[in-house]
Structure 1
Amino acid sequence: MNTKTIVITRPVGQARHLIELLGAALSKHVTPQSPQILSLPLLTIIPKTDDQLSNQVFSAMQDADLAIFVSPNAIECTLRLIECAWQDLAQQIVPIGVMGGSSALALRHHGIGSEETPTPILIPEQNAQWDSEGLWQELQSLAWDWSSKKVVIFKGEGGRDWLAETLEAAGATVEAISVYSRIPLAIDNPAWLPIHEMKFDESLWIFTSSEAVRYLGNVIEDQFRQSLSDANALCPHDNIADAARAAGFSKVMMSEPGDEALIRASIAWLAS
């Protein structure tokens, strides 16, 4: 198979969205060849649905000063849990912090931030800072006395705890609520079959999750790891890039965060 291949490693729903955006962008650009685009959902997002967790969310938000969603998945799973409008969750309007454009878009899809009295949305101004560190810089502009503030963080099981630890070190009371779990892609799943048939040195793997890359590094066999050393990895964050190198990728490309930046970098790779 001589066609260049782009491997999308996001969960199915997010992968489909990125594939559609990439296909639309490719139709507007002249590239030496049309790539094969494969979906390899290394992790599947499973929302939590139990009533006890729903009650925990309602209870935590009653005296919250700030809510933080670590990802679009956290937004979707939390709103599914509460089954009410965001501003009906607490007696006062609780501002929301997010780390990137995809999360901001997810909020807009649910009408959050465009209410009659809009919910304040805090997001790093520059997409090059769409991460935990960037959001923390944005939060510092509030000039809050964190010792008097409670922050509720909605996240998945596991994941990075840097922001929670930073907020606690600043004096804030932090309650982290896991609203979804991640299920790894089984090694006998048919989604792996086209991966083994492609030319690895003509492949670009798009990663947007350190945990997904680490899972890949843990399950691959030695022969597959050698193939990965010939492949290209595209990562929007240093932590993800470090995980890709640890998994076996020797050619790691960086892009700014956000789908548009990933697509631009993918098209540049196709044209190279």
Structure 2
Amino acid sequence: MTGWRLLLTRPVEECEALAATLAEQQVFSSSMPLLTIEPLAESPEQRGIILELDRYCAVVVVSKPAARLGLDLLDRYWPQPPAGQRWFSVGSATGALLDAYGLPTAWPASGDDSEALLSLSAFSDALAVADPKVLIMRGEGGREFLAERLRGQGVAVDYLELYRRCLPEYPADALARRVEAECLNGLVVSSGQGLENLQRLAGDAWADLAHLTLFVPSPRVAEQAIEAGAKNVVDCRGASAAALLAALRQHPAPTL
């Protein structure tokens, strides 16, 4: 595992936390955040949804930024959260934020993705009501698969979009130069949009970078990466540090 030299692309704070965890395991990493989180201004639509929060039998929060911003809204409009409502997250880190707030929260024990959440018995139990309605707190776009599957089961789904993800400004050749200068042999993305930003920043260099091992968080992002031309894709089945470390243990670093 220690032969890996990884490029991390998450938002700044998440890169710092992941880099520290990797360093504890003697894994070299270089951080180049390809996503910044920009909170959306509160709109009448957002306010209307949060004021009617008690209409939903379950609330799904897809990320830590969505948790932080969603809890801010909850503080403003609901001094006491709706009774009997269940909260769910896709990953344990997001779930821990909701749990610390005092919300009844569950998340999959393994697999930080929509498929794992859909197979969670507590989630199925929460939907076992007349006319089930689910609210998904997220950034702009994302988790369409989850909503499609739920709607296919007769569940009404609404979105509360709380932020947008933006690509930071970098010189055109910054990514290729970083990979070459630091002899990196693996790339890590945590979402489909992170992968899109990676390709966009790579530009013409993507044809070469696509040969590096690419660690992705889910089967859907893996499929997206393969369609984009990535030659060696590893599905970590989760975006957590633990999921990445497990994947690194299972896949030896390439030898030069």
TM-score by length of 1: 0.78
Counterparts of 1:53 and 1:79, CA distance in 2: 17
CA contact (8 A) 1:207 1:240 kept: no
Report the CA distance between 1:208 and its aligned residue: 1.4
Deviates more, 1:226-235 or 1:259-268: 259-268
Counterparts of 1:87 and 1:190, CA distance in 2: 49
Q: Which residue of 1 aligns with 2:188?
A: 206
Match of 2:214 among 225, 233, 241: 233
Counterparts of 2:34 and 2:226, CA distance in 1: 17
Match of 1:158 among 122, 141, 161: 141
> Number of residues paired by the alignment?
250
Counterparts of 1:134 and 1:87, CA distance in 2: 31
Is the alpha carbon distance of 1:49 and 1:157 closer, same or farther for their aligned partners in structure 2, counting shifts above 3 Å?
A: same
Match of 2:32 among 34, 37, 40: 40
Residue ranges of structure 2 left out of the alignment (5+ in a row): none
Q: Which residue of 1 aligns with 2:54?
A: 62
**What letter matches 1:165 in structure 2?**
E
CA contact (8 A) 1:147 1:171 kept: no
Q: Which residue of 1 aligns with 2:106?
A: 122
Is the alpha carbon distance of 1:212 and 1:218 closer, same or farther for their aligned partners in structure 2, counting shifts above 3 Å?
A: same
**Residue-by-residue CA offset, 1:100-153 (whole Å, 9 max, x unaligned):** 222222223x3334xxxxx2x23224x13x311221222564174455222111
- RMSD of Structure 2 on Structure 1 (CA): 2.9
Q: Which residue of 1 aligns with 2:19?
A: 19
Counterparts of 1:269 and 1:87, CA distance in 2: 51
**Residue-by-residue CA offset, 1:125-182 (whole Å, 9 max, x unaligned):** 4x13x31122122256417445522211101101131221222222222211101111
**Residue-by-residue CA offset, 1:208-233 (whole Å, 9 max, x unaligned):** 111110232244322x1122133111
CA contact (8 A) 1:57 1:82 kept: no
Residue ranges of structure 1 left out of the alignment (5+ in a row): 27-33, 114-118
Calculate percent identity across the aligned residue pairs.
24
Counterparts of 1:52 and 1:17, CA distance in 2: 35
Report the CA distance between 1:53 and its aligned residue: 5.5
Report the CA distance between 1:42 and its aligned residue: 1.3
Q: Which residue of 2 aligns with 1:97?
A: 88
TM-score by length of 2: 0.83
CA contact (8 A) 2:113 2:237 kept: no
Counterparts of 1:8 and 1:53, CA distance in 2: 35
